[in-house]
Amino acid sequence: MVKTTVGAIITNNDKPKKLLLTKRAIEPFKGYWCFPGGHIDEYEKAENAVIREVKEETGLDFKPSFVMYSDEIIPEVNQHAVVLIFQGTGSGELLIEESEVLEAKWFNFKEARELKLAFGHNQILDEFLRNNYVLIL
């Protein structure tokens, strides 16, 4: 079954900008870095889902702007999802939800691109940077 999920590309206001990634506490991809995000609940709007997921996982408030979608088809972990990617800055105090997230950390974009990220987040990050490079300057 195909699921619809959301992912958040959260940047700070530094020059150059940094990207917030979370380390997963649950399978699949336990111990891997990824964008905060998750499943859209029944009857929930995608924008509300990404705001909720960011708050749950990081404690941050997030004002999202939709930037792209990606197909995540990963048979090895029985994953088939359409991921709606939103971008924005996070505000408030960083406070992780330990049942879902082991750690949250700000990375410069070069560092983030060198990590092996969960799901298809490496490809999403590469595409985001190709199309939105000006946003991270």
* pLDDT tops 90 at residue 16: no
Region 42-54: mean pLDDT is 98
Query: Which pTM was predicted?
Result: 0.93
Q: Please identify which of the residues 27, 47, 98, 103 carries the catalytic annotation.
A: 103
Torsion of CA 78, 82, 86, 91, to 10 degrees: -30
Region 64-74: mean pLDDT is 95
Which domains are delineated in the chain?
3-136 (3.90.79.10)
Residues contacting 73, CB < 8 A, separation 6+: 79, 80
Active site residue 42: no
* pLDDT tops 90 at residue 118: yes
- Based on DSSP, count helices (H) and strands (E) in the chain, helices before strands: 3, 8
Instruction: Count the Cβ atoms, other than its own, within 10 Å of residue 15.
Output: 8
* pLDDT tops 70 at residue 97: yes
Region 85-105: mean pLDDT is 95
Q: Which residue has the tokens 């985001």?
A: 128
Region 75-103: mean pLDDT is 94
Q: Please list the residues that pair with 107 across neighbouring strands.
A: 19
**DSSP string spanning 69-122?**
EEEEEEGGGTEEEEEEEEEEEEES-----TTTEEEEEEEEHHHHHHS--STTHH
